[in-house]
Structure 1
Amino acid sequence: MNVTETLSQGLKREFQVVLNAADLKSRLDGELQNLQGKARINGFRPGKVPVGHLRRLYGRSVMADVVQNAVNEANQKIVADKGLKLALEPQVRFPEDQASIEAAMEAKGDLAFTVALEVLPQIEIADLSDVSLVKPVAEVPDADIDASLERMAGQNRNFSAKAEGAAAEKGDRLMISFVGTLEGKPFDGGTGSGIPLELGSGQFIPGFEEQLEGAKAGEKRTVKVSFPENYGAAHLAGKPAEFEVTVDEVQAPGELKIDDELAKGFGMESLDALRTAVREQLGRELAAQSRRKVKKSLLDALDGKYSFELPPSLVEQEFSAVWSQVEADMKNAGKTFADEDTTEDEARAEYRKIAERRVRLGLVLAEIGEQAKVQIADDEVTQALIERARQFPGQEKEVWEFYRKNPQALAEIRAPIFEEKVVDHLLGQVKIEDKTVSREELYADEDAETEEKAKPAKAKKAKKAAAADDASA
């Protein structure tokens, strides 16, 4: 096997690989001899099938295996000899001349092919001793604990039927049946029976619950609403619908009790124990948000420290994933780029920058983690896999088996664990100052981003870009 480098430009490499006919014939003969000892063909004793006969029967398929093995061997040799780190799998190109391919498959001519590679850039780890970060820290307000307990009590309180002829009020629960139509025709998911609906809960689409206030048991009403523009089902988004609703029963809520009995319903010994558990849970949520904020600041600092050529294919791969999501979101919302006060070209340029940042930071974190010898224990992966399986009730076993049998999918489980460990490693190298803030301040950027969704695109571009690349690797 003769390997010659034909291109070295930036992160791109190309190699010409040639296997001469004699080498091909030797490899083919070796494979056929191995097959001879295993072949079972009528008319021949086991292990006594002539090699020539095997060549006539299986020569072409065996040669295909020989070629594939040669390609794999060439790829491994190139990577090992040149000490390369690949960005993506090698791309192999065979000659377009069919005659030369046929000659090689018969071991009567040389086989020449090209291996094209994209390699990872050399990254020199930057000094972070001058990086100072502010970590916002919030305490759990007693009001938040009280609000959580009220929600829990509300979810567990009893309802009882109101007196005959009593009208439904906000806070009451209705048992309803309905048939929904679009332009007079029923649609999938638009029919329900024995459905509980608490008035004022916002459980149904806007305008639905309000039209049932004042209804009585046994009453039928026609509810006219329009599905939101951003409704999850694209075929319903923004469309007007009518629901023929039958109120089967009107129920009044029982007393809202926040006491030891409520706590026992959640497996706690007392209300004090439940309050402590709620405080701890809310504390974990605040700590997670604080972590996200300081991580975002760290990634911003890293982004300012590194500038290097990016593998084009990795950028294109990341951009394609981002852009597909953008297009899906716009389709679901029934929007165009003109509606967003921008153009497709401007949007593409914006999101390509986001993709480039993600790739750059992903490569930086990977290099830092490798040099720091960051390791992921098997039990960490197992725990993450258990958590993923729990997201699919009733399908836990199938999810578990899927990941265990699919190395690429399992790598998606390992990646965020690795990233968080690298972030921990980096946070230990920079100066961090805790700053006490309110809960509202801690979530301020996210709340502002939610409000920005209603504004024209040009007014929110900066925030959109900052939010979209928060998870960078």
Structure 2
Amino acid sequence: MQTVETLNEGLKRAYTLTITSNDIDARVEKEVLAIAPQVKMPGFRPGKVPANLVKKMHGESLQRDALNSSIQDGVQKLIADQKLRPAMQPSVELDEGFEFGKDAQVKVALEVLPEIAAPSVDGIKLERLIAEVGDAQVEEAAARIASQQGAFDALPDDHAAADGDTVVIDFVGKVDGVAFDGGTGEDMKVKIGSGQLIPGFEDQLVGVRKGDEKQLNVNFPDDYGAENLAGKPATFDITVKSILDSSKPRLDEDFAKSLGLESLDQLKELLKGQIEQEHNGLTRTYMKRKLLDQLAAAHDFDVPPSMVEAEFEQIWAQLQHEAGHEEDPAAALAEMEAEKEDYRAIAVRRVRLGLLLSEIGQANGVVVNEQEMNRLIMQAAQQYGPQDRERFVQYVRQDPMAAAQLRAPLYEDKVVDFLFEKAEVTERTVSRTELEAAIEAEEEGDIKPHVHGPDCGHDHHEPAPKKAKKAAAAEEAAPEAPAEDAPAEKPAKKVAVKKAAPAEAATGDAAAEEKPKKKAPAKKAAAKAE
């Protein structure tokens, strides 16, 4: 094989490879000898078919395979001989005039990774903001869970329900005097003024007392999810079981035990630990952003345009998706277009930081070991069904790019942790509000890189510039809601008269409460708004 360099400009390289017809023919002959023992042909004993007949039968496919393998081997040899580090997959083009029996001219174009001077990891100074967990935060979290669970004290029997109270009712819904499917329920909790139910339902509960029986008159909205009910007048015969004080969640031992815990103190201890984890996550986010800012300020080198373009396309695609969910998508897209060059600059910086982190990791022996990789694979496999898990595991183990995509986030975290250990770190105690404000102040400069190099699977992170940055950074900075420790109310409780409410409207702990209630039993689905 002959190699001629045709371009060496910046990070761009181009070569012409000449693969001789003799090389291709030799590969064909070798493959003929390999498959001849398995070829069957009438008139010949198995394995005794002459090589020339085998070639005549399979010659065309053998030639194509030989050409492809010659090109693949040639490109790999080129990369090894020239000591190239491709930034992306090389472009390989066979001369249009090629004919079998003649030499093949192959054009190879690629961009290489830049040579980065060994980055110094000394002199990094970081501040660790520590937010301690106060009793008030724990009490607030516990009260939030109790509120979500409807753990309220009952009001006196003669109390007249008012706005903000929770009324517990049994009900039977009817259209034209006939009970409709899914319109019957027991012990449903309705908070007056919450707007959870169809218009007019909650308003008619004002003034009821425990033990009252009353008929409510309502109209299902025209856009109601059940077609047999949409736009129709209906009545609901209700019986008031009790009235609860929604303003004061009940926090006692019985409530804690209802969650499967031993005591209220155990609930508070669990919540304190979770809030501490949230604070640690926020602290890490702040430190990482400061670290990346220092690295970006101290290093400047050219980056491969193809990598920048790939990164930019990832950013742009996500921003377009987010713009489609804005109240005014056209205005959001127009704002994006006006700031397009800013986003492209972000792509440049992210690629540069990714290459820099990769270089630091390689220079300092940072690796994802086999045990960690196995754990990543098994964790990722859990999202598939039992039949597909083994196929996924095999796919990742056989495909280097798939493995790299899975490995990249952990590799990045390990490099960042290594730099944290090397840095000179001072500590300062702040409130959670101050910690969140510090992160907010950093959002304009935050750019999460993707580590490119031996662990690069181009698993690009979310963009985070300017206004769109706040939403993008939320995934990294927002703590998990403690509602996970508290099972949601049974879905049957709010099936009959719930009005339409988009899932996107629920956030934080509210979302954790609302989502399970949307999984209504099939027999009551007809009455539920979608």
The verdict on a shared fold, with TM-score over 0.5 as the criterion, is yes
How far the C-alpha of 1:361 sits from its partner, in A, is: 1.0
Instruction: Say which SS state the counterpart of residue 123 (structure 1) adopts.
Output: coil
Distance 1:158 1:437, change over 3 A: closer
C-alpha separation in 2, matches of 1:242 and 1:434 = 62
TM-score by length of 2: 0.69
Provide the rounded CA distance (Å) in 1 between the counterparts of 2:45 and 2:408: 54
1:215 partner amino acid: Q
Please, which runs of 5 or more residues in structure 2 have no aligned partner? 174-180, 206-213, 224-229, 444-463, 477-530
Aligned to 1:350: 342
Equivalences, count: 423
Are the structure 2 counterparts of residues 25 and 379 from structure 1 closer, same or farther at C-alpha, using a change threshold of 3 Å?
Answer: closer
> Are residue 85 (structure 1) and residue 74 (structure 2) matched?
no
Per-residue CA shift, 1:204-236, capped at 9, x if unaligned?
Answer: 6xxx6775432357535347699xxxxxxxxxx
Shift of 1:412: 2.7
Shift in alpha-carbon separation, 1:320–1:54, aligned structure 2, 3 A: same
Matched, 1:380 2:372: yes
CA offsets per residue over residues 174-214 of structure 1, 9 Å max, x none?
Answer: 78999xxxxxxxxxxxx98779675379796xxx6775432
Q: Distance in 2 between matches of 1:8 and 1:277?
A: 61
- Once the two structures are TM-superposed, the CA of residue 251 in structure 1 deviates from its matched residue by 6.5
Helix, strand or coil for the counterpart of 2:325?
helix
- How many angstroms apart in 1 are the aligned matches of 2:233 and 2:51? 79
- The 1:161–1:284 alpha-carbon spacing in structure 2 relative to 1, beyond 3 Å, is closer
CA distance in structure 2 between the aligned counterparts of 1:149 and 1:109, rounded to whole angstroms: 79
Which stretches in structure 1 are left out of the alignment for 5+ residues?
179-190, 227-240, 451-459
- Secondary structure at the counterpart of residue 129 of structure 1: coil
Return 371-380 or 428-437, whichever deviates more.
Answer: 371-380
Q: Distance in 2 between matches of 1:433 and 1:251?
A: 58
2: CA distance, partners of 1:115 / 1:126: 31
Does residue 321 (structure 1) correspond to residue 311 (structure 2)? The answer is no
Of 438-447 and 139-148, more deviation after overlay is shown by 438-447
Q: Which residue of 2 aligns with 1:363?
A: 355
Match of 2:204 among 201, 215, 219: 215
Identity of aligned residues (%): 31
Equivalent-residue separation in structure 2 for 1:323 and 1:387 (angstroms): 29
Distance 1:72 1:300, change over 3 A: same
Conserved? CA contact 2:17–2:108, under 8 Å: yes
Tell me what 2:75 maps to.
75
Contact 2:199–2:219 (Cα < 8 Å) also in 1: no
Q: Residue 31 of structure 1: CA displacement?
A: 1.0
Q: Are residues 212 and 73 of structure 1, via their aligned partners in 2, closer, same or farther at CA, if it must alter by over 3 Å? A: same
The residue type paired with residue 91 of structure 1 is S
> Aligned residue for 1:303?
296
Tell me the TM-score normalized by structure 1.
0.76
Alpha-carbon deviation of 1:10?
Answer: 1.2
CA RMSD of aligned residues (A): 4.0
Paired residue for 2:41? 41
Alignment partners' CA distance in 1, 2:64 and 2:256: 69
Whole-Å Cα distance in 1 between the matches of residues 324 and 402 of structure 2?
28
Q: Given residue 366 of structure 1, which amino acid in structure 2 is its aligned partner?
A: S
In structure 2, the CA distance between the partners of 1:14 and 1:323, relative to structure 1 (3 Å rule), is: same
Partner-residue secondary structure (3-state), 1:314: helix
2:392 corresponds in structure 1 to: 402
Deviates more, 1:65-74 or 1:462-471: 462-471
1:282 correspondence with 2:279: no
C-alpha displacement of 1:349: 0.8
Separation in structure 2 between the aligned mates of residue 2 and residue 177 of structure 1, nearest angstrom: 86
